Amino acid sequence: MAKISPLQVTPLLPGTNCGECGEETCMAFAVKLLDHVYTVDDCKPLVKEKKYAKKFAKLKEMTTPPIRAVKVGVGERQIVIGGEEVLYRHELTYYSPTAIILSAPDDNLSLIEERAKLVRDLEVYRIGTLLKIQGLAIRSKSNDPATFAKAVKTAIATADIPLILCSTNPAVLKAGANAAKGKNPLLYAATKENFKEVGQIALEHNCGVVVYSMDLNELASLAASLYAAGLEKIALDPGIEPSDGCFADSLDRFMMLRKAAIKGDKNVGWPIVTPIASAWIGKDPNLSEAERIETAFREAEMGATFIARASNMLILHSADSWLLLGLMVLRQGIYSDPRINPSVEAKLYEIGNPNENSPVFMTTNYTMTYFVVKDDLEALKLDAYLLLVDSEGICVESAIAGGQTKAEHVAEAIKESGLENKVKHRIIIIPGLAARISGELEALSNWKVLVGPRDSGGIGAFLKAKWDGKLDQLMQEWKEMQEE
């Protein structure tokens, strides 16, 4: 699918530069619309005024990605699945990270509460991003509408998180949808036997539905029928068989759906849901701990495989921390934008409570570099200044070699940071990997440069050898530099 240009989008906007969207011009809105910052509905005049109806319809059709986006849940925790335009992330980027959903049976209210709280509270801060799990899937083990409704209400009372309501019994799904009224749950699943009833429930509650079939032609037909009936929130499950002999076939079905959608088959242009909890099907509930971990590991293997293949939602049975953290970290890496080097703001940071005698460290603003150095400094309980120089988000060694970080850039950053007003000394410690610019930096900045360790893990030993108790000596050396 050819990438749409903002110049193709702008003529379909009102052209009034009204600013209701938050942008100063319609062109600026067009650019961010194509970057998935906005949707067509964010252009208020286009939506409200009848004279723009044709433009609105044409623009919506033009900008709808091959894999359409579906929203689940409400409020701050609402998630978007789908909305993707490419098969492989290096072609552009992926926009909607795979939703990781925990599951719980409807006949165990204490487990529902426990897992709802876990989804609500689990946060892991990693290189500038909060990693979370997204929602809870309530599985109708009882097959009883009243029991299922009670389970849904328990989850809602515990946490305001996206819900997946799982049953093939329309009566059970209807009870669950009624209990989750206004919460925009996702119904799982519509099959060839129940799709009319489940589709009607979804239409009545304006919520999404997952269509299930291991026959891809049947899956496409069911999705097309629901869409023709007026349902615009659809996801697909082509089935997953966890055994070694059948798993490859499951992955093949997944990839065939994905490729067909990217190539323009609108009948399958929907997000894909992958219930990797199926690894537990047929397992004895009284497994030994070794067997339980082995099955959870199998679930993790499948989860990693499908995140790497851009599955839009995983439904898990296991809640082991090692499994969740592993999948969240993998997802973070895959869904980082390959067009943009990960960086943090290039400026002066304070570590602890630095004063006029505190050491000053310099490094680049590559995200991983910053957080590693920051963590190492904090682990030493240091009070220090950390100056980040703009390297276009590239690590020290590559930025020095490629010229993104030069001595003149560091000298300019020292001046602009106001360091001269924060410390009484004129000593800066640069990474060992930036040693080649030390002489030029001294000449340009008029600061004495100490070449630190190649790895920030060696800062503690370096300070003991080169800094502790030596500030007066270093300042004397700096004064001697002025006389040369």
Rounded to the nearest 10 degrees, what angle do helices 216-228 and 244-262 cross at? 40
Residue 131 φ then ψ, to 5°: -90, 135
- CATH assignment of 70-334, among 3.20.20.20, 3.10.450.50, 3.10.150.10, 3.40.47.10: 3.20.20.20
Residue 1 has pLDDT above 60, yes or no: no
- For 70-89, what is the mean pLDDT? 93
- For 128-155, what is the mean pLDDT? 96
Range in 125-134, 209-218, 351-360, 418-427 the model is least confident about: 125-134
Strand partners, 72: 79
What pLDDT is attached to residue 338? 76
Residue 2 has pLDDT above 70, yes or no: no
- Round to the nearest angstrom and report the end-to-end CA distance of the chain: 64
- Residues 30 and 10: beta-carbon distance below 8 Å: yes
Per-residue b or e along 325-357, where b marks 16 or more CB atoms closer than 10 Å to that residue's CB: eebbebbbebbbeeeebbbbebebbebeebeee
Q: Note whether 6-63 and 348-483 share their fold.
A: no
What pLDDT is attached to residue 223? 97
Euclidean distance between CA atoms 343 and 405, whole angstroms: 14
Q: Tell me the pLDDT band of 64, cut-offs 50, 70 and 90.
A: confident
Task: Say if residue 473 is exposed, middle or buried (CB neighbours under 10 Å; 0-12, 13-18, 19+).
Answer: exposed
What pLDDT is attached to residue 481? 85
Architecture of domain 6-63: Orthogonal Bundle (1.10)
What pLDDT is attached to residue 484? 66
- Say which residues have a Cβ less than 8 Å from residue 288's Cβ, sequence separation at least 6: none
Taking only the tens place, the pLDDT of each residue in 185-204 is 999 999 999 999 999 999 99
Taking only the tens place, the pLDDT of each residue in 357-416 is 999 999 999 998 999 999 999 999 999 999 999 999 999 999 999 999 999 999 999 999
Delimit the domains of the chain by residue range: 6-63, 70-334, 348-483
- CATH assignment of 348-483, among 2.40.50.140, 3.90.180.10, 3.40.50.11600, 3.90.650.10: 3.40.50.11600
Instruction: Please tell me the number of Cα atoms within 13 Å of 132 on its side-chain side.
Output: 18
Handedness of CA 251, 101, 141, 225 (dihedral sign): negative
Residue 4 has pLDDT above 90, yes or no: no
Euclidean distance between CA atoms 236 and 209, whole angstroms: 9
What pLDDT is attached to residue 309? 85
Taking only the tens place, the pLDDT of each residue in 219-267 is 999 999 999 999 999 999 999 988 877 888 999 999 999 999 999 999 9
Euclidean distance between CA atoms 399 and 404, whole angstroms: 5
